[in-house]
Amino acid sequence: MTQKTQQRFLGKTAVITGAGSGIGEATATLFAQEGAKVIACDISQARLDALSRTLEAYDIKTCAGDVCNGKVIEEIVKMAQERIDVLANIAGIMDRFLSVGEIDDSTWDKVIAVNLTAVMKLTRATLPIMLEAGHGSIVNVSSEAGLRGSVAGAAYTASKWAINGLTKNTAFFYGDKGIRVNAVAPGAVKTSIEAPMESNLSINRIEPLMKALMPPTAEAIEIAQAIAWLSSDEAKNINGVILPSDGGWGAV
């Protein structure tokens, strides 16, 4: 069966952040094709407009704005009209591979705000709806950088390890209330994420390791498929897991 003939999310509402590009775009597309009503969020109105055009045959609403902004979070929840079956926290940014000795406060604050704090706030805003329904699935996007210390800068690495902790803690607290919380940890994926290596330390220490050990770059749909599976009833016994989708990088 191809993914397009499955309808795992028929009648379900899925909130997907970072839906304008890369992994978020692939996930929004897959969910829409599988019957979900998709609420697609991204900071880029232009990217959301393009997504809406591509998915015009499907049930999709868009919310343009910064996921760090409380008003945008309120708007997302309002658009869902008291129903959120799936929340996929995908929006994220990188940190130019800056080590702790090189990073400036604003880069640190921004990366933590988008990759971690916004995920906590959107999860917090979504939980009452899931608790009322007695079910829900949340999938966060971690990273290979959340499995080891040698693939990104200090802020990105810290944000992704923290996402793993938030995932497990939320899974623990709400698992007995019908809410599952898992994360996917991708290796390198072909997307639009900006990842300039502006650190000499990283050029000397990380780049050679990546060249030697990194498996081939994956397509965004491969990560979307893992997110969809974890979100679906097929994974109803899976809670609190950080699932690598990294071509075996984690096995090195």
Active site residue 156: yes
- Residues 49, 20: Cα–Cα separation, whole Å: 8
Distance between CA atoms of residues 56 and 185, nearest Å: 30
- Residue number with CB closer to ligand NAD (104 or 219): 219
Q: Give the span between the Cα atoms of 164 and 5, in whole angstroms.
A: 32
Q: Where are the beta strands (DSSP E) in the chain?
A: 13-17, 37-42, 60-64, 86-89, 136-141, 179-186, 189-190, 218-219, 242-245
Annotated catalytic, 160?
yes
- Single residue of 14, 60, 114, 125 touching ligand NAD by CB under 6 A: 114
Contact pattern from residue 130 through residue 149 relative to ligand NAD, giving x for each residue in contact according to CB under 6 A and a dash for the rest: -----------x-xx-----
- Select which of 160, 174, 199, 245 is catalytic: 160
Three-state DSSP class for 114? helix
Which of 211, 152, 154, 209 is CA-nearest to residue 186?
152
Burial of 113 (0-12, 13-18, 19+ CB in 10 A): middle
Q: Which stretch binds ligand NAD (CB under 6 A): 19-27, 52-60, 78-86, 130-138?
A: 19-27
Total number of residues that touch ligand NAD (CB under 6 A): 28
**Contact with ligand NAD (CB under 6 A) among 68, 131, 201, 221:** 68
Three-state DSSP state, 161: helix
| Candidates 12, 21, 137, 156; catalytic one | 156
Give yes or no for residue 42 binding ligand NAD (CB under 6 A): yes
Contact region for ligand NAD (CB under 6 A) — 49-57, 84-92, 127-135, 228-236? Answer: 84-92
Distance CA 185, CA 142 (A): 5
Give Dmax over CA atoms of the chain in angstroms.
52
Over the window 166 to 205, marking each residue x when it contacts ligand NAD by CB under 6 A and - when it does not, the resulting string is: --------------------x-xx-xxx------------
**Residue 151 DSSP class:** S
Which residue(s) pair with 141 in the sheet?
184
Residue 23 in contact with ligand NAD, rule: CB under 6 A: yes
52 binds ligand NAD (CB under 6 A): no
Cβ–Cβ < 8 Å for 16, 80:
no
Beta carbon of residue 177, minimum distance to ligand NAD (angstroms, whole number): 26
Closer to ligand NAD by Cβ: residue 54 or 131:
54
Beta strand segments in 35-80, E: 37-42, 60-64
Enzyme catalytic residues? 142, 156, 160
Q: What does the binding site for ligand NAD look like in residue numbers (CB under 6 A)?
A: 17-18, 20-24, 42-44, 47, 66-68, 90-93, 114, 141, 143-144, 186, 188-189, 191-193
